[in-house]
Chain A
Amino acid sequence: MKKTAMLILLALMSSASAVKVGALIPLSGASSVSGQAEKNGLLLAVDEINKNGGVLGEPLELIIEDDQSNPAKAVPAFTKLVTVDKVDFMVGGLGSSTTLAITGAAKQYNTFMAWAGAASPLVEDAMKDYPYFFHYHPWAYYNFEAILSFFKNLKGNKKAKNIAIAYEDGPFGSSGIQDTVAAFKKAGFNVVLTEAFKAGSGNFAPIINKAKTQKVDIFYWIGYDVDALPLVQQMKESNLDVGLVYGAPPSWPIGFEKNKLSQGVASLTMWTPELPSTASKNFVKAYKAKYGNITDEYFAPLAYLNLKTLAEAINKAGSTNKDKVADVMAKTTFDTPLGKLAFTPSQKIKYQGFKGSNWVTFQFRDEKRLPVFPLKVAKKTVLYPMP
C-alpha cells in the first residue's frame, strides 16, 4: 500500500515537472491522412526523446488535440492546450486555414510555436513580427519554385512545352492560380487549358474532353486525394494522350501506388523512404520497428523532426525560457530525415526552416514512389512519356 502511494506520488511529481508540449493536428476532416501521419511521427519522436533521457531530465509530455481541419474548431482546441493543459510549447499544425485561425490566440497567449505545417503566405503575413514562430514547412512560393524547376527540366530534355491545368475550386486548388498560369507563361510554357473542378465530384469528363482537343505535354492537377483515382481512370478510359500527369495533392489515397493506373504519375514530396541520408534511414528503421510498416507521407518525418528539434533546443538551452530556446533554435543546424535544417529568414518571417531545395519530385513506378528530380537525389530518370 505504502509502495503504491509512493509510486503515485513519484508519478505526480514527475508529471508536475515534465515539459509539456501541445500538438494541434487534423485527425479528422479533409487533411486527416496527413494528420494521422503527423501523429505517428510525433509519437515516435516522444518515444525516442524519453528513451534518451527526456527533456531537462524529465519525460516529455505530449498532448494532442484534433483541429478537425476546421478553423472554428482549431481555436478552442488551441486555447484548451495553452490555458487548461498549460503546455510550454506548441508543435504540429498542418492546414493554412486552421493555422491562420489560431494566429490571433497564439499572439494573445505569447505561445512558442515550432510549427510543422501551413504553406500559405497569409500565415507568413500574420506571423511576420512574432518572435516565437519557427516555421518548418516551405511556403507555397517555395513549392512552386520546385515544380517549375522540374518542368523546366522536362522542357529542356523532353521538349515538354504545353501544360493543361486542372484545379479544384476550393482554397487549396484555386489560390494563386492566376499567378501560377502567369509564371508558367513567363517560363516559356504554353498553358493550353485552365479548368476548375469540384473536389470529390469524380467527374473529369469535361476537362478531359477539352484536353483531347489540345496537344498536352504536362497535365498539372491540383486537388485532393479523393480525385486522384477517378482522374487517372477517366484519362485512361478516354485514351487521353499526355506526356506526364503531375499531381499536387496534400496526400495521396492510401495504396494508390498499388493501382496500375498510378504508374508514371509524378508529384512533389519533401521525403521518400528511399532517401539515402543516415538520418532518413534511421527514421525508416525506427518507424518500421514501432508501426510494422513505413509510410510515404512526408508529414510523418516532418512531425518527427519537428518535435525532436524542439526537444534538442530545449535541452541545449537548459531551460524552458522561450527566449533562450528561441535563441538556440535560431543558431542551431539540425540533422534531420529531410536533410539539414537551419532557421533563416524567408520573405517575411525571421525563422524559416525548409525552403525550395528540400522538395523532391517522385514518380509512381512499380508500386513505389521513386525520386526522379532533382538529379542529385534521383533514383531513376523520369519516365516520359508515361505509359
Chain B
Amino acid sequence: MIRPSPISTVLSVVLGVLALTFPFLPLGDQAAFMLQIANFTVITAVLSLSWDILARTGQLSLAHAAFYGIGAYSYTILMAHAAPWWLAVLLSGLIAGLLSLILGAVTLRLQGMYFAIATLAFTEVIKTVIQNLPDTFAGGATGMLVPALFGGQPNLQYYAAVVLLALTLLVSIWVRNSKLHYAFTAIRQGEQVAKVLGVSASRYKLLAFFISSVLAGFAGVLYASKTFFIIPAETFSLSVSVSSLTTAIFGGLYTTLGPVIGSVVLTVLEELLRLKIPNGYLVVYGVMLVLTILYLPRGIMGLLERKKA
C-alpha cells in the first residue's frame, strides 16, 4: 500500500472538511453564488480525476466530453421517458462505460497523438449523431431541458456531487493501491516492456477506459441537472475535454489529490479573476496557466513534494 505524504493527508483533511461543511459556511450574501461555484468545482474535480485514471496508462483521451455528454443525454432522455431518477442516473454512467468499451476495443491499440485524434473524432461523431436524432427524442441541435435532480434543491445537488467525488476518490485510491497501479505505470512507461513482463496492456487499458468513462458519465448527469439544459454544441465541446486534462496537469498528473487541487485552484481562480478583471481575465488566466506548466511540470503536487523533500 502506498502511504500518502503528511502534506497530502493534511490537504485531504482540509479539503474534505471544507467540502462537507461548505453549505454551512457563514458566507452571507455570497452563499448561493459560492455554492454554485463549489458545485461546478466538485463536478470538474470528478471529471479531471476520471481523466487522470486513464492517463495513468499513458493514454491521452480527448473523448471525455463525449462520455460526459453521453451521461448528460442518457439521464435526460431516460427521465423524459419517466424512468425513476436513480435508475436514470445509474444507467447513464453505465451507458457511457459501455460505449467506452466499444471505442476502446477499436482505438486503444493506437498510441499518443493517434489515440488523441481518434477520441476527438469519436466526440464529434457522437455530437453529430445526437444532433441528427429526432428532435422529439433528443432535442436535435437545439438542445433539451433537463429535469433537475432533487427538485433543483442546491444543497442536495451539491452533496450529490460531493458523494460522487468521494466515490471517484475511493476508486482512484483503490487503483493506486492495487496491482492495477503497477500495470498502468508499466504500460505508460513502455508498453512493449510491459507486455514482455506479462502485463496484458489492452485489457488494462480497456479497464482504465471503462472506469474513467463511467465516472465521466456520472459527472455529466450532475452537470446537466445543474444547468437545467443541454445542447450538443456545448455538452460535447472540446473545451470540456481540455478542461479535464488542464486541471489534472495543473494539479499534478497520476495522483489522486492533484486533479482535485487543480480543479479547486483553477475554477476558483477563474471565477475570482472574472469578478476582478471582467474584460481581461482570460488573458491573465491563460498566462498563469502557461507559466505554471513551464515552471511546474509536475503540477502543484510536484511543488509540494519538492518542498517536502
Residues on A facing B (Cβ under 8 Å): 27-28, 65-66, 70-72, 75-76, 79-80, 82-84, 86, 96-97, 100-105, 108, 120, 122, 125-126, 169-176
Among listed B24-32, B52-60, B77-85, B248-256, interface-contacting one: B24-32
Question: Known interface pairs A83-B32, A84-B29, A171-B232. Does A104 touch B152 (Cβ–Cβ under 8 Å)?
Answer: yes
A170 to B232, CA, bound (A): 8
- B223: Cβ under 8 A from any A Cβ: yes
Question: Known interface pairs A96-B142, A100-B145, A169-B141. Does A83 touch B31 (Cβ–Cβ under 8 Å)?
Answer: yes
- Smallest Cβ-Cβ distance to A77: which chain B residue: B274
- Smallest Cβ-Cβ distance to B278: which chain A residue: A66
- B40: Cβ under 8 A from any A Cβ: yes
Residues of A within 8 A of B33 (CB): 76, 79-80, 83-84
- B288: Cβ under 8 A from any A Cβ: no
- Smallest Cβ-Cβ distance to B39: which chain A residue: A76
| Distance to closest chain A CB from B264 (angstroms) | 15
Mask: chain B, 5-36; 1 = CB below 8 Å from A; 0 = not: 00000000000000000000000011111001
Check if B131 sits within 8 Å of A174, measured CB to CB: yes
Q: A71-B229, A126-B145 are in contact. List 13 more A-B contacts (CB 8 A).
A: A71-B227, A71-B234, A72-B234, A83-B33, A84-B30, A84-B33, A100-B145, A101-B227, A122-B143, A171-B141, A173-B141, A174-B140, A176-B142
- Smallest Cβ-Cβ distance to A126: which chain B residue: B145
Q: Is the interface of B mostly helix, strand, loop or mixed?
A: helix
Check if B36 sits within 8 Å of A79, measured CB to CB: yes
A72 to B219, CA, bound (A): 14
**15 interchain pairs (CB within 8 A)?**
A27-B278, A71-B231, A83-B29, A83-B33, A84-B29, A96-B142, A97-B231, A97-B234, A100-B143, A100-B229, A104-B228, A171-B141, A171-B142, A171-B231, A171-B232
Residues on B facing A (Cβ under 8 Å): 29-33, 36-37, 40, 128, 131, 135, 139-143, 145, 148, 152, 154, 223, 226-229, 231-234, 271, 274-275, 278-279, 282
Check if B145 sits within 8 Å of A122, measured CB to CB: yes
| Distance to closest chain B CB from A160 (angstroms) | 28
A83 to B36, CA, bound (A): 11
- Smallest Cβ-Cβ distance to B243: which chain A residue: A72
Residues of A within 8 A of B229 (CB): 71, 97, 100-101, 103-104
A176 to B141, CA, bound (A): 9
Q: Is the interface of A mostly helix, strand, loop or mixed?
A: helix
| Distance to closest chain B CB from A97 (angstroms) | 5
| Distance to closest chain B CB from A51 (angstroms) | 25
- Smallest Cβ-Cβ distance to B144: which chain A residue: A122
| Distance to closest chain B CB from A182 (angstroms) | 13
Residues of B within 8 A of A169 (CB): 128, 131, 141
Check if B228 sits within 8 Å of A174, measured CB to CB: no
Question: Known interface pairs A86-B29, A97-B229, A171-B141. Does A108 touch B131 (Cβ–Cβ under 8 Å)?
Answer: no
10 shortest interchain CB distances as A-B pairs: A104-B228, A83-B32, A175-B142, A171-B141, A100-B229, A174-B141, A80-B33, A76-B36, A101-B229, A79-B36
- Smallest Cβ-Cβ distance to A64: which chain B residue: B278
Residues of B within 8 A of A66 (CB): 274, 278
A28 to B143, CA, bound (A): 21
Check if A75 sits within 8 Å of B36, measured CB to CB: yes
- Smallest Cβ-Cβ distance to B227: which chain A residue: A101
| Distance to closest chain B CB from A28 (angstroms) | 8
Check if A75 sits within 8 Å of B227, measured CB to CB: yes
A66 to B280, CA, bound (A): 12
| Distance to closest chain B CB from A258 (angstroms) | 27
Residues of B within 8 A of A79 (CB): 32-33, 36
A299 to B273, CA, bound (A): 28
Check if B142 sits within 8 Å of A122, measured CB to CB: yes
Check if A171 sits within 8 Å of B145, measured CB to CB: no
| Distance to closest chain A CB from B188 (angstroms) | 31
| Distance to closest chain B CB from A211 (angstroms) | 23
| Distance to closest chain B CB from A159 (angstroms) | 33
Residues of A within 8 A of B231 (CB): 71, 97, 100, 171
- A171: which of B40, B143, B228, B279 is its contact (CB, 8 Å)? B143
Check if B233 sits within 8 Å of A170, measured CB to CB: yes
A320 to B215, CA, bound (A): 46
| Distance to closest chain B CB from A100 (angstroms) | 4
A307 to B143, CA, bound (A): 29
Residues of B within 8 A of A76 (CB): 33, 36-37, 40, 271
A100 to B36, CA, bound (A): 17
